[in-house]
Amino acid sequence: MTAMTEPASRKLTLGDIADVRAYERERDTFRPRMIELKRRRRVHLGTVVTFVFENRDTIRFQIQEMARVEKLITDEEIQTELDIYNPMVPEPGQVCATMFIELTSDDQMREWLPKLANVERSALLVLSNGDRVRGVLDAQHEQGLTREHVTAAVHYLRWDLTPDQVEAFAAGAVRLEIDHPAYLEAAELSETTHAELLADLVV
């Protein structure tokens, strides 16, 4: 009898991150591909909230760009970035997203950030079978970003789906929804975004 092996983790390792010089050589082709990938994985809800659903490639791009800007060259420095961002690489059965509250002025921030306190706990995926899967905050990021009476401009969320819910996701339209009392918004995922996220969910 052959022992079953666990599927390999999708998380990034040091070997996945090119050093700064090597990344410069690939950046002109890699960056446009990642911008287009993020476009396919971006969902706007209402006037000020946007979600970008992350995967292994988008997180690698984030780390490579961070290393480039901050001139991170040691394994220890890169490992710190991996530890910060790897939780946002979805494993099978998960989707992950960065939630942005997009405000362009001090007046908007003073108005919206208190009004939207706890909005980061109000994001749901509504599946074709009626299941409502609420996003959970990444614990590591939550400590630094979450406040009781005001929200931050960026949050990191994860949705964990059961096998039956993955089937329901695949079977029909999926809606992204915010049920915060001050910001009731919903949007159906486009076919393109739906396909991208279904690839995240399956092994």
**Mean predicted confidence (pLDDT) in 157-175:** 97
List the one residue out of 144, 62, 46 whose CA is nearest residue 98: 62
List the one residue out of 16, 140, 142, 9 whose CA is nearest residue 67: 16
Cα–chain center distance at 201:
13
The reported pLDDT for the residue numbered 17 is: 97
The reported pLDDT for the residue numbered 150 is: 86
**Mean predicted confidence (pLDDT) in 124-145:** 86
- Tokens 């899967």 belong to residue: 133
The structure tokens listed for 3 are: 């022992």
Instruction: Reduce the DSSP state of residue 101 to 3 states and report it.
Output: strand
Give the rounded percent of residues in the chain with a pLDDT score beyond 90.
Answer: 86
Give the rounded percent of residues in the chain with a pLDDT score beyond 70.
Answer: 92
Beta strand 49-54 pairing with 42-45? antiparallel
The reported pLDDT for the residue numbered 3 is: 45
| Rounded Cα gap, residues 105 and 134, in angstroms | 30
- Single pTM value for the model: 0.90
